[in-house]
A and B are shown apart, each in its own frame.
Chain A
Amino acid sequence: MRTLPKIQEIARGVLAGDRRSIARAITTIENNSPKAQELITSIFPHTGNAHVIGLTGPPGSGKSTLINKIIREYRRKGKTVGVIAVDPTSPFTGGAFLGDRIRMQELSTDQGVFIRSMATRNYLGGIAKATKNAAKVLDAAGKDIVIVETVGAGQSEVEIIKVAQTIVVLFAPGLGDEIQAIKAGIMEIADIFVVNKADRTNADKAVMDIQAMLQLNNKEKMWKPPLLKTTALTGEGVSQLIEKIEEHRLFLEKEFERKRSREKAEAELVEAIKEKVASSIIEELKREGKLEEFLQKILEKKMDPASIAEKLLNKKFGKQI
Chain B
Amino acid sequence: MSDKEKIDEIAKQRERWEKTTLPKWIGQSPERKSEFRNHSGTLIKRVYTPEDIKDLGYTRDLGFPGEYPFTRGVHATMHRGRLWTMRQFSGYGTAEQTNQRFKYLLKEGETGLSIAFDYPSIRGYDSDHPFSKGEVGICGVTVSSLKDMEVLLNGIPLNKVTTSMTINGPAAMLLAMYMAVGDKQGVPREKLGGTTQNDVLKEFFAQKLIIFPPKPSIKLVTDIIEYCTKHVPRWNPISISGYHIREAGANAVQELAFTLYDGITYVESCLERGMKVDEFAPRLSFFFAAHNDLFEEIAKFRAARRIWAKTMKERFHAKNPRSMWMRMHVQTAGFTLTAQQPLNNITRVTIQALSAVLAGTQSLHTNSFDEALALPSEEAVRIALRTQQIIAHESGVANTIDPLAGSYYVENLTDEMEERTMEYFRKLDDMGGAIPAIEKGFFQKEIADSSYEYQKEVDEKRRILVGVNDYTTEEKQPIKVLRVDPKVEEEQVASLHKLKRERDNRKVNEMLEKLHYVAEKDENLMPTIIDTVKAYATIGEICDVLRKIYGEFKELIVI
Contact = CB atoms under 8 A, between A and B. Distances in A.
Tell me if chains A and B make direct contact, with any CB pair below 8 A. yes
B554 interface: yes
Interface stretch (A95-103, A217-225, A306-314): A95-103
Given A60-B440, A102-B554, A234-B551, A174 B559 contact: no
A99 B441 CA distance: 14
Interface string B393-421: 00000000000000000000000000000
Contacts of A97: 559
A103 B554 contact: yes
Contacts of A282: none
B551 A174 contact: no
A60 B559 contact: no
Contact of B557 (A102, A233, A234): A102
A103 B553 CA distance: 9
B188 interface: no
Contacts of B557: 99, 102
Please tell me the size bucket of the interface on B: 10 to 19
Interface class of chain B by DSSP:
loop
Please tell me the size bucket of the interface on A: 10 to 19
Contacts of A233: 213, 551, 553
A102 B551 CA distance: 16
Interface string A215-243: 00000000000000000011000000000
A60 B213 contact: no
B432 interface: yes
A259 B277 CA distance: 68
A60 B439 contact: yes
A174 B554 contact: no
A174 B213 contact: no
Contacts of A60: 439-441
B109 interface: no
A97 B559 CA distance: 8
Nearest to B555: A102
| Most chain A Cβ neighbours within 10 Å, of B436, B439, B440, B441 | B439
Contacts of B551: 233-234
Contacts of B439: 60
A105 B554 CA distance: 10
A92 to B, nearest CB: 15
Interface string B191-225: 00000000000000000000001000000000000
Contacts of B559: 97, 99
Contacts of A102: 554, 557
A234 B553 CA distance: 11
A234 B552 CA distance: 10
A105 B440 CA distance: 21
Interface in A49-84: 59-60
Nearest to A172: B439
A102 B558 CA distance: 12
A97 B557 CA distance: 10
Interface in A92-114: 97, 99, 102-103, 105
B522 to A, nearest CB: 15
Interface string A125-164: 0000000000000000000000000000000000000000
A199 to B, nearest CB: 9
Interface in A34-62: 59-60
A99 B557 CA distance: 7
Contacts of B553: 233
Nearest to B558: A99
Interface in B433-475: 436, 439-441
A133 B180 CA distance: 62
A99 B553 CA distance: 16
A102 B436 CA distance: 20
A222 B554 CA distance: 40
B149 to A, nearest CB: 31
Nearest to A197: B439
Contacts of B213: 233
Interface in A200-221: none
Nearest to B436: A174
Contacts of B436: 174
A234 B549 CA distance: 10
Nearest to A100: B557
Contacts of A174: 432, 436
Contacts of A105: 554
A242 B359 CA distance: 59
A103 B556 CA distance: 9
A133 to B, nearest CB: 28
A105 B557 CA distance: 13
A103 B554 CA distance: 7
A278 B452 CA distance: 44
Nearest to A64: B554
A284 B9 CA distance: 81
B555 to A, nearest CB: 8
Contacts of A99: 557, 559
B451 to A, nearest CB: 15
B550 to A, nearest CB: 10
Interface string A162-192: 0000000000001000000000000000000
A216 to B, nearest CB: 28
A104 to B, nearest CB: 10
| Most chain A Cβ neighbours within 10 Å, of B432, B436, B440, B554 | B554
Nearest to A62: B439
Interface in B26-69: none
B544 to A, nearest CB: 16
A35 B440 CA distance: 42
A71 to B, nearest CB: 15
B268 to A, nearest CB: 16
A234 B432 CA distance: 23
A60 B559 CA distance: 15
A201 to B, nearest CB: 11
A87 to B, nearest CB: 12
Nearest to A99: B557
A43 B213 CA distance: 43
A37 B540 CA distance: 53
A93 to B, nearest CB: 13
A97 B558 CA distance: 10
A60 B436 CA distance: 10
Interface string B528-559: 00000000000000000000000101100101
A289 to B, nearest CB: 44
Nearest to A68: B554
A126 B386 CA distance: 64
A103 B551 CA distance: 13
Contacts of A59: 441
Interface string B126-139: 00000000000000
B105 to A, nearest CB: 40
Nearest to A175: B440
A4 to B, nearest CB: 31
Interface string A256-286: 0000000000000000000000000000000
A174 B431 CA distance: 10
A5 to B, nearest CB: 34
A60 B213 CA distance: 15
Interface of B: 213, 432, 436, 439-441, 551, 553-554, 557, 559
Q: Which 10 A-B pairs have the closest CB atoms?
A: A99-B557, A103-B554, A97-B559, A102-B557, A60-B440, A233-B213, A60-B439, A102-B554, A233-B551, A234-B551
5 contacts: A99-B557, A99-B559, A102-B554, A174-B432, A233-B213
Given A103-B554, A234-B551, 6 more contacts: A59-B441, A60-B440, A97-B559, A105-B554, A174-B436, A233-B553
